[in-house]
């Protein structure tokens, strides 16, 4: 069985009026099925750029990216859209729910674009909402009536609903307080236990504790094992007790 995700030698150069920005400089990365990977790095290090490429929202300037063995660079826009509809789930920092739509409608949205029949849609949405443990009384609420933590759980349910090969989360706890963050992260942990593949992007070291494995990104490059050990040691020295993440093997 191959990797869910296989990135090799990926560069991404942004062209703008201000000039060129080399946001990714040769990133290579693999993720196995059922793995919960955390990509950590400071602001501006290229995390979101990587996430956009992994989510087939953007294409690498060079290098290859295979999702479940499919070379994504060979696909056209519609094929990428189909891939996103069927194989990917997104969780964003700012939730990105349709504010006036109900929780049920929001969760069903990806299924609308993959032509799933309405009855099956409802069934799948209910299953997804149950697995993020949102109380059933909220299912008919408009999403703008929920708290931040509830919204993010709805967003996770939406990311789950099409049973994706990969769930991508970009700073999912960035807008949440620590208690709510923990609840959301627990949800991710439970999904990992159910066998989902998760890539979570964060700049917060506490978040990485929940992951199976953490990679660090600096200035568009992933740190080597050597550099990473140094980094972990320096961080432990500075803030004792943060060295090893939960489930880090």
Partner 1 sequence: MRVRDLMQETWSALDANRGRSALTVLGIVIGISAVIAMTSLIGGINKALVGELGLSQAQLVYINLFVDRDLTYDDVDKMARDLTDYQMMVASSYGSAEVSTGKKKGSGNLTGVKPAYFTATGAKFVDGRAFTEGEEHSGAMAIILDKEGVRTLFGDADAKVVGQTVRVGNDECTIVGVVEGSGGSYMSGEDTVNAYMPFSTMATRVVGNRSVSQIMGFAQEGSNMEQVVDRTKDYLALTYNIPESEREDSIYVYSMQSMIDSVNATMGAFSLLMTAVAGISLLVGGIGIMNMMLTNVTERIREIGLRKALGARRSDITRQFMLESICLCLSGGLIGVALGYGASFGLTGLVAAAFMGEGSSMQVTPLIDVGTVLFATIICIVTGVVFGWYPARRAAKLDPVESLHYQ
Ligand X SMILES: Nc1ncnc2c1ncn2[C@@H]1O[C@H](COP(=O)(O)OP(=O)(O)O)[C@@H](O)[C@H]1O
Catalog residues that contact partner 1 under the rule CB under 8 A.
52, 55, 57-58, 77-78, 81-82, 84-86, 90, 92, 96, 98, 100-101, 109-110, 112-115, 118, 158, 162
Does residue 41 touch ligand X according to CB under 6 A?
Answer: yes
Contact with ligand X (CB under 6 A) among 17, 19, 43, 77:
43
Smallest distance, Mg ion to C-beta of residue 39, A: 11
Nearest to Mg ion of 32, 52 (CB atom): 52
Q: What is the largest CA-CA distance in the chain?
A: 55
Does residue 45 touch ligand X according to CB under 6 A?
Answer: yes
- Going by C-alpha positions, the residue among 215, 211, 243 that lies closest to residue 227 is 215
Helix (H) or strand (E) holding 236: helix 225-238
Smallest distance, partner 1 to C-beta of residue 209, A: 28
Does residue 48 touch Mg ion according to CB under 5 A?
Answer: yes
Q: CA-CA distance, 5 to 139, in Å (whole number)? A: 33
Helix axes 148-160, 118-131, angle to 10 degrees: 130
Task: State whether the Cα torsion 134-48-31-205 is positive or negative.
Answer: negative
Binding site for ligand X (CB under 6 A): 14, 16, 21, 23, 41, 43-49
């Amino acid at each position: 069985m191959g990797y869910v995700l296989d990135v090799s030698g990926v560069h991404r150069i942004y062209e703008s009026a201000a000039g060129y920005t080399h946001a990714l400089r040769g990133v290579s990365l693999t993720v196995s099925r059922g793995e919960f990977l955390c990509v950590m790095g400071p602001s501006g290090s290229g995390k979101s750029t990587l996430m956009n490429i992994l989510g087939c929202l953007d294409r690498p300037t060079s290098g290859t990216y295979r999702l479940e063995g499919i070379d994504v660079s060979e696909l056209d826009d519609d094929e990428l859209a189909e891939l996103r509809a069927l194989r990917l789930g997104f969780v964003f920092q700012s939730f990105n729910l349709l504010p006036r739509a109900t929780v049920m409608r929001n969760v069903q949205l990806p299924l609308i674009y993959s032509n799933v029949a309405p009855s099956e849609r409802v069934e799948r949405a209910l299953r997804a909402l149950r697995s993020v443990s949102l109380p059933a009384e909220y299912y008919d609420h408009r999403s703008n009536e929920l708290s931040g933590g509830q919204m993010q759980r709805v967003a996770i349910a939406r990311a789950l609903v099409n049973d994706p090969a990969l769930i991508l989360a970009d700073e999912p706890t960035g807008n949440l307080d620590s208690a709510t963050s923990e609840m959301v992260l627990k949800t991710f942990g439970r999904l990992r236990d159910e066998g989902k593949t998760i890539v979570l992007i964060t700049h917060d070291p506490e978040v990485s504790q929940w992951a199976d494995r953490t990679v660090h990104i600096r200035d568009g490059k992933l740190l080597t094992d050597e550099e990473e050990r140094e980094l972990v040691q320096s961080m432990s020295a500075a803030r004792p007790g943060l060295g090893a993440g939960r489930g880090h093997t």
